[in-house]
């Protein structure tokens, strides 16, 4: 009887430790560096936001937050890697409208479930897109670009960060509303696309405003219009495309996600560090200069945002005719 009671006590103790271990683990988190996966090539808007945020999150978490670019498949490769990672808070994703709203509608083979495979942390910023051209390109306004494209359908090409990306769909919507035919040239991220547009290899680009704004200020690119319904506060001289094409609107966003199953205590620590980062005066100033609009949502608000974005973008992807096997 004594042996039986002793054995039962050991079982109860083991069960208690099993339940206590995650709590203790979460309380100590983080004890080593955290990897933030950016699912696109360096040099784009998502990379810019990630590096600003990661540096300040490192201060808040008292462990280094390391940015790792893992591009490919329009963001699917990096997002899937995080979805399959251990739910321990040491691998997180800088997600976007592409990874959590467009790709689920774009790809026939699903690399992950945008809602079920992630623990939402915080929506960091909303990001305007912008239509730019090489300074030597003859069109100096959205109206002139439309006139040129209508005269010679299929002659002019535009660059984007990849097939099915928000920037590709920005171009597809422009073609649809303007009644023009452009050639889409997809790149593996905004960075490589920017290089070719600045060099004059491709005349037109749809890009996130933060990654293009310094080139616009320096005269290396000419901005024809932002894609949001209102002008960007930091660049009020750039008209909206909607001023020429009523009803035109697209945008991007950046948010932090952890793998599904990550303990709430860890999600909360990541949330607090992320929100503190975007509200740091230096980061806030740099993001505002780049026309990123700071949000800093709760995890529940980000979850609701993803659900809403999935419903919004699915018909837009279908209308564009874009689909990838």
Give residue 306's domain range.
33-126+252-320
Same domain for 112 and 257, yes or no, is yes
Q: Is the pLDDT at 104 greater than 70, yes or no?
A: yes
Average pLDDT over residues 284-306: 92
DSSP bridge partners of 122:
256
CA gap 304, 277 in Å, rounded: 22
Q: How far is CA 302 from the centre of its chain?
A: 13
Domain boundary among 212, 243, 274: 243
Report whether 125 contacts 97 (CB < 8 A).
no
Read off the pTM: 0.78
Which is more confident, 44 or 89?
A: 89
Domain boundary among 177, 212, 243: 243
Provide the CATH number for the domain around residue 308.
3.40.190.150
101 and 68 fall within a common domain:
yes
Kindly indicate the confidence band of residue 262, based on its pLDDT and cuts at 50, 70 and 90: very high
How far, in whole angstroms, is CA 35 from its chain's centroid? Answer: 16
Helices and strands (H and E) in the chain: how many: 12, 10
- 10 Å CB burial of residue 188 (0-12, 13-18, 19+) is middle
13 belongs to a structural domain: no
Report whether pLDDT(295) > 90.
Answer: yes
Residues 193 and 87 in one domain: no
Tens of pLDDT, residues 16-39 = 544 444 555 678 999 999 999 999
pLDDT band at 313 (very low <50, low <70, confident <90, very high): confident
pLDDT at 145: 98
CB atoms within 10 A of CB 289: 14
Pairing outcome for strands 293-294 and 118-133: antiparallel
- The closest alpha carbon to 186, from 40, 291, 37, belongs to 40
| Preceding peptide of 30 cis, ω within 30° | yes
């Amino acid at each position: 009887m004594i042996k039986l009671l002793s054995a039962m006590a050991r079982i109860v103790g083991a069960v208690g430790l099993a339940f206590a271990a995650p709590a203790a683990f979460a309380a100590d988190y983080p004890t080593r560096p955290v990897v933030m996966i950016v699912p696109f090539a360096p040099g784009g808007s998502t990379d810019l936001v990630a590096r600003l945020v990661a540096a300040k999150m490192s201060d808040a978490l008292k462990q280094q937050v390391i940015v790792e670019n893992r591009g490919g498949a329009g963001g699917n490769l990096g997002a899937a890697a995080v979805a399959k990672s251990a739910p321990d808070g040491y691998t997180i994703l800088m997600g976007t409208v592409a990874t959590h709203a467009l790709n689920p509608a774009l790809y026939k083979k699903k690399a992950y479930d945008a809602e079920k495979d992630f623990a939402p942390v915080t929506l960091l910023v909303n990001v305007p897109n912008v239509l730019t051209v090489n300074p030597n390109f003859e069109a100096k306004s959205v109206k002139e670009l439309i006139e040129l494209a209508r005269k010679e359908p299929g002659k002019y090409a535009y660059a984007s960060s990849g097939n099915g990306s928000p920037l590709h769909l920005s171009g597809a919507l422009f073609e649809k509303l303007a009644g023009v035919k452009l050639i889409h040239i997809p790149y593996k991220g905004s960075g490589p696309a920017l290089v070719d547009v600045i060099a004059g290899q491709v005349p037109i680009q749809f890009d996130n405003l933060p990654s293009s704004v310094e080139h616009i200020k320096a005269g290396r690119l000419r901005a024809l219009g932002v894609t949001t319904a209102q002008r960007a506060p930091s660049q009020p001289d750039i008209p909206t495309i909607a001023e020429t094409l009523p009803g035109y609107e697209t945008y991007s966003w950046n948010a932090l996600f952890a793998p599904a199953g990550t303990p709430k205590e860890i999600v909360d620590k990541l949330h607090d560090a992320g929100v503190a980062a975007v509200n740091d005066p230096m980061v806030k100033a740099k993001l505002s200069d780049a026309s990123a609009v700071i949000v800093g949502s709760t995890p529940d608000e980000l979850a609701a945002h993803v659900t809403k974005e999935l419903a919004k973008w699915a018909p837009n992807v279908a209308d564009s005719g874009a689909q990838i096997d």
